[in-house]
Structure 1
Amino acid sequence: MWSFLALAVPVLLGSLQAVTAVPTISAVGSKFFYENGTQYYLKGIAYQLTPHDPLVDTAQCKRDIARMSELGANAIRVYHVDASADHKGCMSAFADAGIYLFVDLDTFNTQIEQTDPHWNQTQFDRFKEVLDEFQKFDNTAGVFVGNEVLTTADGSQAAPYVLAAARDIKAYRDEKGYRQIPVGYSAADIADLRPMLQNYLACAGNHSDRLDFYSLNAYEWCGQSSYEQSGYNILQKNATDYPIPIFFSETGCNTPAPRTFHDQSAIFGKKMSGTWSGSIVYEWIEETNDYGLISYGPSVKAAAATNSIIEDGFTRKGTPTPVSPDFGNLKAQWATLHPTGVHLSDYRKVASGITNIKCPASTSGGWAVDPNSPLPTLGQTLSKEAATTMGTSSTDGKATAAGSGASATATKKSSASALTITGTTATERLLAVSMLLSGVVGAVAFWL
């Protein structure tokens, strides 16, 4: 019996240690770092191969990973996943290739809406399920609480709800004892909201009330443009001295064709690499919008799309074939761009001196968020009546936030419906582990 245990225990421990085979990514000050202290820059691809979850077909992931590695990618962004599915195969394959995941927590039914901003228990529960699943993997580098929630100049009323979601997910992460996976937001590039939104989401004095990173979906650099002509110089100006990591969560203008990706030389070059942490190029698969880097075959008419690997008229499985010349153009750009950044040991000496960015003041007809107002509580909604009225309790017991300023200065919910973050204490976790190990030993003894 003891000889069997001598063999079984190392195997068990080895399977547990396999989870930590890849170095994790952390956000320190305004930068990302590997565990060894090397600065991490994203060279990423938007990878929504299938509408509901691209991370469940291990064989397909491995085929795609081979091409991504050829490009020089070290990150993917996935917009929608099924939290109940098995992701071990794909996530392990990406980890083996040194590719990290940035994943959106929302689903098709739980995203925060600009036109009807709210943050409720149903949304929170779904967000938690995605975090619960992907915190298991050390190559999960970050999570998004929203993608392009604010899309118009008058959409600032939704900003506090984005921040409320980040606050609650961070609190849940910490209460559960999960690794400090950075929590961020992916913003639409709306000139009228720059840099107010960017600054609002990072200006809170309390770390728990601000994002861990901010990212931008920007398609300003098109064709034979330049740093100044594209407006990247303005993006850089707005991001200088930003207190948290900032990167491009989508980029790669495709008009005029072909895509040359000359913006990458600016993002990873001397002008921007001291501030920006890289970029995610949109997107992996060729679809109707002509942004794809690879395809799995020609488009198929909807009427003929009876095969399960065909969705929306495009084959989504098989051998990835590079789209020429776009694939080669991106490969050539990334091959020459290798910023070293700063080592964490050196950066810590100056990171403590980073000052909080100033919160943007609300303006009439412009940015309409009062920086002094508290964030919405769970279940709080935006009042659609009396835009300047302070929030009051609604008939269903939910609190109602103030209007035009989206200031969320509503009456607090009753204690019966207040936010309660469930989790386990250290003692409870230790007890659970002890019981699990006892059960394993008992099962082995019974088997023998």
Structure 2
Amino acid sequence: MARLYSTLLTGACLCAGVFGEIIKRQQGSLPPVTSEGNAFWAGGERFYIRGVAYQPGGAADAADPLLDMSSLTRDIQRFVELGINTIRVYTIDNSQPHDEAMQMLDDAGIYLALDANTPEFSLNRESLTTLHQSYNDVYLKSVFGTINNFAGYSNLLLFFSGNEVINARNNTHAAPYIKAVTRDMKQYISAQASRPIPVGYSSADVAENIESQALFFACGEDEWARSDFFAFNDYSWCDPSSLQQSGWDQKVETYRDYGLPLFLSEFGCITNTRQWGEIEALYSEEMTVAYSGGLAYEYTLEANGYGLVEQSGNGITPNADFRRLKAAYTATPNPSGDGGASRSRTVPECPPRTREWDVDTENLPEIPARARNYIRNGVSNGPGLEAESSQWRGQPSSTKPDLSDGVTESEDVSSNNNGSSSGSSGSGSGGDGESGAAGLSISTGLFGVAAAVVVFFSM
């Protein structure tokens, strides 16, 4: 039996930090969003994500769009025109404050869904060796720095612990490391933040293993390691299409009994002219029983052919895709009431190992010792976008790369939290505690069959 993950805070509680802390930001008008049952909730009402991906310049540019106030001011006007309530940002500079941008978004009624990784601070999926080495304290300090930078904003919707790390049949070995990052982020939030903030994974829609991914990130006895939501990038609806033609009707049946909020972290096929017919389907009660909306890809037209606005110098021009998406959002209200959501949450069995899912353990890597101290003491700002890559610089986990001696349970911190990813903010200032302690083809009801194990409620 794998040893228990019980040494996280030997002789100390996982409580408010004494060195670093979540910066107390101004509270906006938008209520925080929580994860409960298989849906998101805000101010007592069900919350549906209606948004766009927002990373002008694309991933290669790796600039922080929330620090360009001139462009953001201009773009927020278009967000409001589109009728969206959420933007997804993939890369930010976690060494800089974002008060002005977050206040502007809040004033416009817009939440932020934020990726916690940056191009130089992320997991390397190439092999077990690179995964083990890249999962280190320097990497996690950057992730925690991003949490520090944004957790104080009430319109911070959620954090993605990873994006398409698994993107094929042959790199599912990355799954336990992704799950470990989710665990670590949730524990940091519990120790250092003052409210629950959902943490989960944005997956590639790999037909051979997408269902296994969904099960894996929701399963297990360790509540801290289970995601607060599951999202995937789905481009299978290519207009002209329908629920049946796209296969979305079968996906609804697949995930009908799934216990976590589910949404599309990217959508919008460009094989043909985008009429955005999927909007009407996505926010219909036929789908909201399982789905909580999604994020259209993407705002600025890039070389890949995706984009709603075309940029020329400092100006932008909405294109036909923008106008059609605006019309689709305008014509499609959210369902009334709870849209078929369940407030109870069930925990499925973990998926078995197969040719397409090369994971045969529930063990996770133990958090690196210095990163354990960061959870206890907090961190200050992150390293920003100019720092050297964390890949080979940090202290890795003491666990073997193959996880044969991995951990199966996290330290019990339930007395400190307000939900699955919450805690109380601390006081104090100073250092960072660097001194280290020592195609869908499964049968309908898959999740429902496996799920009658544990039922719990998040507050």
Structures share fold, TM-score greater than 0.5: yes
| Higher mean displacement: 130-139 or 176-185 | 176-185
What secondary structure, in the 3-state scheme, does the structure 2 residue paired with 1:296 have?
A: strand
- 1:10 maps to none
1:223-262 equivalent positions in 2, closer than 5 A? 223-256=239-272, 258-262=273-277
Counterpart among 59, 62, 81 of residue 70 in structure 1: 81
- 1:376 maps to 365
- 2:302 maps to 287
| Higher mean displacement: 72-81 or 60-69 | 60-69
Higher relative contact order (CA 8 A, sep 6+): 2
- 1:192 maps to 208
Counterpart among 34, 42, 46 of residue 49 in structure 2: 42
Q: Provide Cα deviations, 1:66-111, integer angstroms capped at 9, x if missing partner.
A: 1111111100000000011231111111101111000101111122
- 2:124 maps to 113
* Mapped contact 2:195–2:424 kept (Cα < 8 A): no
- Residue-pair matches, total: 362
CA apart distance, 1:127: 0.3
Relative to structure 1, the CA distance from residue 237 to residue 117 in structure 2 (aligned partners, 3 Å threshold; closer, same or farther) is farther
Counterpart among 356, 375, 381 of residue 366 in structure 1: 356
Q: Give the letter for the 2:311 counterpart.
A: Y
* Mapped contact 1:39–1:341 kept (Cα < 8 A): no
Counterpart among 164, 169, 176 of residue 160 in structure 1: 176
The structure with the greater share of residues assigned to helix is 1
Is 2:207 the counterpart of 1:203? no
1:11-30 equivalent positions in 2, closer than 5 A? 18-30=26-38
Structure-2 separation of matches of 1:155 and 1:100: 32
- 2:326 maps to 331
Relative to structure 1, the CA distance from residue 399 to residue 70 in structure 2 (aligned partners, 3 Å threshold; closer, same or farther) is same
- 1:174 maps to 190
Structure-1 separation of matches of 2:406 and 2:96: 39
Is 2:133 the counterpart of 1:142? no
- 2:375 maps to none
Is there any run of 5+ residues in structure 2 with no aligned partner, and where? 1-23, 370-395, 418-422, 430-459
* Mapped contact 1:376–1:409 kept (Cα < 8 A): no
Is there any run of 5+ residues in structure 1 with no aligned partner, and where? 1-15, 298-314, 381-395, 403-407, 413-417, 433-448
CA apart distance, 1:17: 8.8
Structure-1 separation of matches of 2:212 and 2:108: 38
Structure-2 separation of matches of 1:192 and 1:214: 17
Structure-2 separation of matches of 1:428 and 1:178: 5
CA apart distance, 1:49: 1.7
* Mapped contact 1:219–1:251 kept (Cα < 8 A): yes
Q: List structure 1 segments (4+ residues) > 6 angstroms apart after TM superposition.
A: 424-428
Structure number, greater radius of gyration: 1
Counterpart among 92, 100, 103 of residue 92 in structure 1: 103
CA apart distance, 1:319: 3.1
CA apart distance, 1:431: 7.7
| Higher mean displacement: 98-107 or 332-341 | 332-341
Q: Give the letter for the 1:45 counterpart.
A: V
Q: Give the letter for the 2:64 counterpart.
A: D
Structure-2 separation of matches of 1:235 and 1:113: 30
- 1:102 maps to 113
Structure-2 separation of matches of 1:20 and 1:217: 30
Relative to structure 1, the CA distance from residue 376 to residue 68 in structure 2 (aligned partners, 3 Å threshold; closer, same or farther) is same
Q: Provide Cα deviations, 1:108-164, integer angstroms capped at 9, x if missing partner.
A: 112222213232111111100111001121110000110000011122110010000
Relative to structure 1, the CA distance from residue 428 to residue 246 in structure 2 (aligned partners, 3 Å threshold; closer, same or farther) is closer
* Mapped contact 1:261–1:333 kept (Cα < 8 A): yes
CA apart distance, 1:259: 1.2
Counterpart among 299, 306, 316 of residue 320 in structure 1: 316
CA apart distance, 1:430: 6.2
Q: Give the letter for the 1:117 counterpart.
A: L
Structure-2 separation of matches of 1:108 and 1:69: 29
1:207-222 equivalent positions in 2, closer than 5 A? 207-222=223-238
- 1:12 maps to none
Structure-2 separation of matches of 1:427 and 1:241: 32
What secondary structure, in the 3-state scheme, does the structure 2 residue paired with 1:228 have?
A: helix
* Mapped contact 1:45–1:283 kept (Cα < 8 A): yes
Task: Give TM-score scaled by structure 2 length.
Answer: 0.73
Root-mean-square deviation (CA, aligned residues, Å) is: 2.8
Is 2:138 the counterpart of 1:131? no
